Chains A and B, each alone.
Chain A
């Protein structure tokens, strides 16, 4: 099966600029996640979608970050305006997330987008 696709792989922007990341999950996966991974730390959940609805966005800095998942398939994460501390790898993941015991399903990750804010 095709994996989780993310683009771009790398992005360098200046602070206060805006940036967008795109993710296409594995076909049939109902749940989609965006994680932020700062160097030396584990991934931190930004937002989780179940189909096209938001399940958890409690750690998303909503004054600057936004995400959408139209039609319950691919997703876009946007940062506007960017700050220096947003420099990180942004990981998209998906899992089956359907039906009962969907917590059994592991997450499948894309290769990530490395963002550098200067």
Chain B
């Protein structure tokens, strides 16, 4: 069975500083990894994905994520945080089949302080 772990419930950073939100996964076969963001009273929005290729993938709003196969990690990063980045972030892993099920972590709340 596949699983996702987000070891930090909360991440706090100052505006302008780099941020990292951690994610580790477990899946049989090739991992297909996604990050989603959830703003208050809104549904989840897709940020970026890793399917294959370069280990560093770029996504929306200046976010990027680094895939590390040996550490089974897919950490979300941004070089310079904005107050508007404050939200709930979810990592997800998906089965590599046409009807693949997505499994989500429990989320990390990112707070960026001015």
Interface residues of A (CB under 8 A from B): 4, 6, 31, 33, 35, 40-45, 48, 50, 55-56, 91, 93, 97, 99-104, 106-112
Contact = CB atoms under 8 A, between A and B. Distances in A.
Q: Contact size class for B?
A: 20 to 34
B95 to A, nearest CB: 7
Given A4-B43, A104-B32, A106-B34, A50 B104 contact: no
Given A31-B99, A50-B99, A56-B99, A106 B46 contact: yes
Contacts, number: 69
Contact of B44 (A6, A43, A104): A43
The residue in A42, A48, A50, A110 that gathers the most chain B C-beta atoms within 10 A of its C-beta is A42
B32 A110 contact: no
B90 A43 contact: yes
B103 to A, nearest CB: 8
A112 B34 contact: no
Contact of A112 (B43, B100, B106): B43
A42 B94 contact: no
Interface of B: 4, 32, 34, 36, 41-46, 49, 51, 90, 94-107
Ranked nearest first, the 4 interchain pairs of A and B with the lowest CB-CB distance are A109-B43, A42-B104, A106-B46, A103-B100
A103 B98 contact: yes
A103 B96 contact: yes
B102 A97 contact: no
A103 B52 CA distance: 12
Contacts of A101: 98
Nearest to B4: A42
Contacts of B49: 104, 106
A109 B45 contact: yes
The residue in A33, A101, A104, A107 that gathers the most chain B C-beta atoms within 10 A of its C-beta is A107
A55 B100 CA distance: 9
A91 B101 contact: no
A110 B43 contact: yes
Contact of A48 (B36, B45, B90, B101): B101
A40 B15 CA distance: 25
Contacts of B90: 42-43
